[in-house]
Homo-oligomer: A and B are copies of this chain.
């Protein structure tokens, strides 16, 4: 696991002024990895302030050597997968080299400023895209409060599933419909019961967002070879935000073997992978368990994970409606939560996921599940914010919501803060609900 190193030095500032602003998500201490389209070509990059290091252009300058050069060469591709599959020391070396090139007194600064738009384009001038090819997407259910509330809404006598405290519950999600932050989220069609209890097919009436944190796998494991709990975080390349858009009306009707079409129409991820190393200053102990909770089974109990599996991270969801934007109103913060609301750590999710020998591959995405806490402010989806529709969420302009309407936009964000460290952010995960299209083949039969 990465110890603190020069890339975390809070005194370090960048010659890129936007990276020194107190509210930037991307100070020189962050250096998250992503991918972007430029002149029709997909390239990989690193965020710094309001700019993006184009790793292919940097590679062509031949400023790097050793492990950093190896890492940069492997990033000369349309995805980060080759870089992510490398041993962590390569990525660490590349981040250290980037930090040295971007610090305010960098000797090589003039080599970069002389071709700044080629090597460090403005983020606003490129189109961010998915950072890596995602083979499998797994979504967990690890918030006790989210799970209990939904159990209550369903009227279950015991709202928490029996297995919840024995293992991190999960299901396989749909990889093909993962999309990077931004753009439209098209309202899906589906089968659901109408108010009279009849089965209908049409645009889904009850759309929701779900605020999640996700880990992206770096080095994978071979089939039949589980990953040990205290080795698990060495298999994480980085983290991003995930909005697991849900069509509740479809889900309620279809769900026998887990979520399917109620989720697979679109899932949004934030474009930047914040590395394990960048998060090192924000680590803390894993959340403690309640007295009387069952003992953690040995393969899910790691001493390093217990001491270090938590994160000082604030997570937010903001909502704006078409009417609010038309009135130039700011988006309303509707959720403020943090990873302490997860009953299981990402290391435990990985150890469990591979405990049967299942292989994780570079680029696989593991969602935490909706990160709802006990407080009202920390409810991380509209279903909970509206108490399953019983208490519509009031908006500042007099509108209210029990579900997302066409034109509603959700923006997820996150910020890691800890005394003595420079705060870093995740960038945003944004999506706006677009009206259902006419069903393409209606009336043809």
Q: Taking beta carbons and an 8 Å cutoff, which residues of A are in contact with B? A: 135-136, 141, 161-164, 166-167, 169-177, 179, 186, 188-191, 199, 201, 204, 223-226, 228-231, 247, 250, 253-254, 256-262, 264-266, 294, 297-299, 301-303, 352-353, 355-361, 364, 437, 439-442, 444-445
Nearest CB of B to A411, in Å: 21
Give min CB distance, A197 to chain B, whole Å.
Answer: 11
Determine whether the beta carbon of B256 is less than 8 Å from that of A177.
no
| List of B residues within 8 angstroms of A302 by Cβ | 445
A256 to B258, CA, bound (A): 7
* Residue ID in chain B nearest A444 by CB atoms: B228
The reply to whether B163 and A256 form a contact with Cβ atoms under 8 Å apart is yes
**With A191-B166, A355-B190: A445-B175 Cβ-Cβ less than 8 Å:** no
Cα distance, A356 to B170, chains bound together (Å): 22
Q: Distance in Å from the Cβ of A6 to the closest Cβ of chain B?
A: 32
A357 in contact with B294 given A257-B259, A258-B257, A261-B352 (CB within 8 Å) = no
Name the distance in Å between A313's Cβ and chain B's nearest Cβ. Answer: 25
Q: How far, in whole Å, are A182 and B258 apart by their CA atoms in the complex?
A: 30
- Cβ of B356 and Cβ of A176 under 8 Å apart? no
- How many copies altogether? 2
Taking A223-B266, A266-B357 as known contacts, 18 extra A-B pairs with beta carbons closer than 8 A to each other, sorted by chain A number, are A135-B135, A135-B175, A136-B174, A161-B256, A163-B253, A166-B253, A167-B191, A171-B258, A176-B358, A179-B223, A186-B223, A186-B224, A186-B357, A190-B355, A191-B297, A228-B441, A247-B356, A299-B442
Residue on B nearest A364 in the bound complex, by CB: B176
The closest CB in chain B to the CB of A254 belongs to: B163
Residues of B within 8 A of A169 (CB): 254, 256-257, 260
A439 & B135 in contact (Cβ 8 Å cutoff): no
Interface pair A440/B228, CB less than 8 Å apart: yes
Pairs A–B under 8 Å by Cβ, sample size 19: A136-B175, A162-B253, A163-B191, A170-B257, A176-B223, A176-B361, A179-B223, A186-B224, A189-B356, A199-B297, A224-B437, A231-B441, A257-B258, A261-B355, A261-B356, A264-B356, A298-B445, A299-B441, A299-B442
A260 to B257, CA, bound (A): 10
Are the CB atoms of B257 and A171 closer together than 8 Å? yes
- Are B191 and A445 neighbours in the complex by a CB distance under 8 Å? no
CB contact between A189 and one of B231, B303, B355 (< 8 Å): that residue: B355
**Cα-based distance from A188 to B247 in the complex (angstroms):** 34
Is the CB–CB distance between A294 and B199 below 8 Å? yes
CA distance A230 to B445 in the complex (A): 9
Point out the residues of chain B lying under 8 angstroms from A170, CB to CB.
257, 260
Given the contacts A191-B297, A199-B294, A176 and B357 also touching, CB distance less than 8 Å: no
Contact B175–A358 (Cβ < 8 Å): no
Among A186, A253, A259, A440, chain B packs the most CB atoms within 10 A around the CB of A440
| Chain B residue at minimum C-beta to C-beta distance from A252 | B163
Note all chain B residues with C-beta closer than 8 A to A230. 444-445
CB closest residue in chain B, given A200: B297
Within 8 Å CB of A136, what residues of B?
174-176
Given contacts A176-B135, A265-B356, A357-B186, contact A440 B226 (CB under 8 A): yes
Contacting residues, chain B, for A174 (C-beta < 8 A): 136, 172, 358
Chain B residue at minimum C-beta to C-beta distance from A201: B297
A442 partner residues in chain B, CB cutoff 8 A: 298-299
Please, which residue of chain B has its CB at the minimum distance from the CB of A147?
B256
- A254 / chain B contacts, CB cutoff of 8 Å: 163, 167, 169
From B199, B225, B364, B445, A440 is in contact (CB under 8 Å) with B225
With A223-B179, A224-B186 known as contacts, the answer to whether A141 contacts B256 (CB < 8 A) is yes
Note all chain B residues with C-beta closer than 8 A to A162: 253
What chain B residues lie within 8 Å of A226 (beta carbons)?
A: 189, 439-441
Contact with A356, one of B141, B161, B163, B250 (Cβ below 8 angstroms): B250
